Amino acid sequence: MSKEKVVLAYSGGLDTTAIIPWLKENFDYEVICCCIDCGQAEELDGLEERAKLSGASKLYIENIIDEFCDDYIMPCVKAGAVYENKYLLGTSMARPVIAKKLVEIARKEGATAICHGATGKGNDQIRFELGIKALAPDIKIIAPWRMTDIWTMQSREDEIEYCMQHGIDLPFDAKHSYSRDRNLWHISHEGLELEDPANEPNYDDLLVLGVTPEKAPDEGEYVTMTFEAGVPKSINGKEMKVSDIITELNALGGKHGVGIIDIVENRVVGMKSRGVYETPGGTILMAAHEQLEELVLDRATYEVKKDLGNKFAQIVYEGKWFTPLREAIQAFIDVTQQYVTGEVKFKLYKGNIIKAGETSPYSLYSESLASFTTGELYDHHDAEGFINLFGLPLKVRAMKMQEIEKQK
């Protein structure tokens, strides 16, 4: 009788490597590793050998960069989805597409379980598991870090020791470095001095994608971008697919110290956590998109879109991607993007994105209306009646208050 199969979300790191023999020892599973490439840019070479050496029967390496960009990042950009005014959802957006791939491979392999290496204190366990539950309610989920009765390892040293006992002698480093998560959109840093919010981040050790504004060039750089229906199409006249645009913007943003945030955020599980996020390209793309939007969206739509953008950010942060609510808000957002077409120009300079002009065939800005000369459409006298009606509730209340004062 063949063994039951488990699909393990595999990064090649120490945690997920130690999980391979652990799964075999405690559950007698056949372990199928799955490494999902969302643009980590980390060395994916040698992963197969590492997974097999550690006891996995198979390794899938799935490149999903374009799907991640087109179907997960772009809806968030169009929505202007930013969590708690700062966080551009770099890790949050990637989790549902990873969960979707894990489910696809589990189905293909006839696996009965999926295992992930997320800790029991973070948001990622929620995002992975809500995704799996929504797409495959019958598949069992194994989260070793929450199974403290049988997962007894407490430190990197413990994990290295466990691997060696199981014949896995790999060049893992026992020293604790920042806990990082990287994909095409961003890189997050937690741990070490960041664990105390009183400490300033040690940016020289920390930054991976760029430099601090102080170390950025003294010369600003102009960038021109075009959009069609809310989707970026070109940089400086060169047409590219979305993933290449983000890659190019990452290089530009990193060079000029753009997109570094230091945040104490509220996790879904109820605690505050402190992290530094680098999102150079994403920060520029969001700003450029917003720059064009202000030209073409009417006031009432813009107002509702802002509210729903916040809601969308919360939904994505909480791992509720595969829900009717996310689909419904995304449908609203898509309608608002119909005319977000045009060109924006801006200058990158020492951490800043400085606007330098924008045009759109659908611009609602009318020079004759906005200028101080009187145009056809606007009669100054109309403003008087408008202000009288618009201010009527204030005036009625003030008269009432006066009356009450007199009676006193």
pLDDT in tens, 202-236: 999 999 999 999 999 999 999 999 999 999 999 99
Same domain, 201 and 348: yes
Nearest alpha-carbon partner for 186 in 77, 283, 316 = 283
Q: Is the pLDDT of residue 375 over 80?
A: no
Same domain, 216 and 281: yes
Residue from 50, 95, 182, 274 carrying the catalytic annotation: 95
Percent of the chain with pLDDT over 90: 90
How many beta carbons lie within 10 A of that of residue 28, not counting itself?
9
Which are the contacts of 391, defined by CB distance < 8 A and separation ≥ 6? none
Q: Order of strands, edge to edge, in the sheet holding 5-9?
A: 58-63, 30-37, 5-9, 113-115, 140-142
Domain count, the chain: 3
Please name the amino acid found at residue 394.
Answer: L
Report d(CA 252, CA 352) in Å as an integer. Answer: 12
Question: Which residue did the predictor score with more confidence, 46 or 293?
Answer: 293
Same domain, 142 and 196: no
Nearest alpha-carbon partner for 184 in 158, 219, 209 = 209
Report d(CA 51, CA 13) in Å as an integer. Answer: 10
At 170 the pLDDT is 85
Q: Specify the 3-state DSSP secondary structure of 303.
A: helix
Same domain, 66 and 211: no
pLDDT digits (tens, 9 = 90+) for 231-247: 999 999 999 999 999 99
Same domain, 10 and 41: yes
At 387 the pLDDT is 98
Active site annotation includes 138: no
In a domain, 333, yes or no: no
Active site annotation includes 179: yes
Residue 101: CATH number of its domain: 3.40.50.620
Same domain, 112 and 211: no
Q: Is the pLDDT of residue 1 over 90?
A: no
* Average pLDDT rounded to a whole number, residues 142-162: 95
CB of 208 closer than 8 Å to CB of 278 = yes
In a domain, 247, yes or no: yes
* Average pLDDT rounded to a whole number, residues 399-406: 96
At 43 the pLDDT is 65
Domain range holding 378?
371-407
At 319 the pLDDT is 98
In a domain, 171, yes or no: no
Active site annotation includes 196: no
Residue from 11, 124, 127, 360 carrying the catalytic annotation: 124
pLDDT digits (tens, 9 = 90+) for 271-319: 999 999 999 999 999 999 999 999 999 999 999 999 999 999 999 999 9
Return the half-sphere exposure (C-beta side, CA atoms, 13 A cut-off) of residue 21.
Answer: 18
Phi/psi class of residue 93: alpha, beta or left (left: φ > 0; alpha: ψ in -120 to 50)?
A: alpha
For residue 147, what are the CA distances in angstroms to 115, 137, 241? 12, 21, 43
Active site annotation includes 124: yes
Q: Is the pLDDT of residue 189 over 70?
A: yes
- In degrees, rounded to 5, the angle at the alpha carbon of residue 40 between the alpha carbons of residues 278 and 284 is 35
Same domain, 29 and 89: yes
For β-strands 5-9 and 113-115, DSSP reports them as parallel
In a domain, 44, yes or no: yes
Q: Specify the 3-state DSSP secondary structure of 235.
A: strand
Last residue of a domain, one of 131, 165, 199: 165
Report d(CA 383, CA 378) in Å as an integer. Answer: 9
Same domain, 264 and 377: no
In a domain, 334, yes or no: no
Q: What is the DSSP letter of 83?
A: B
Which are the contacts of 278, defined by CB distance < 8 A and separation ≥ 6? 186, 187, 189, 207, 208, 209, 210, 254, 259, 260
Same domain, 215 and 352: yes
pLDDT digits (tens, 9 = 90+) for 82-138: 999 999 999 999 999 999 999 999 999 999 999 999 999 999 999 999 999 999 999
Residue 280: CATH number of its domain: 3.90.1260.10
Q: Which two tokens stand for residue 17?
A: 């490597």
At 173 the pLDDT is 83
At 183 the pLDDT is 96
Same domain, 44 and 149: yes
Residue from 57, 66, 179, 363 carrying the catalytic annotation: 179
Same domain, 218 and 274: yes
In a domain, 323, yes or no: no
Same domain, 190 and 121: no
Q: Is the pLDDT of residue 42 over 80?
A: no
Q: Is the pLDDT of residue 150 over 90?
A: yes
Report d(CA 244, CA 248) in Å as an integer. Answer: 6
In a domain, 170, yes or no: no
Q: Is the pLDDT of residue 80 over 70?
A: yes
In a domain, 38, yes or no: yes
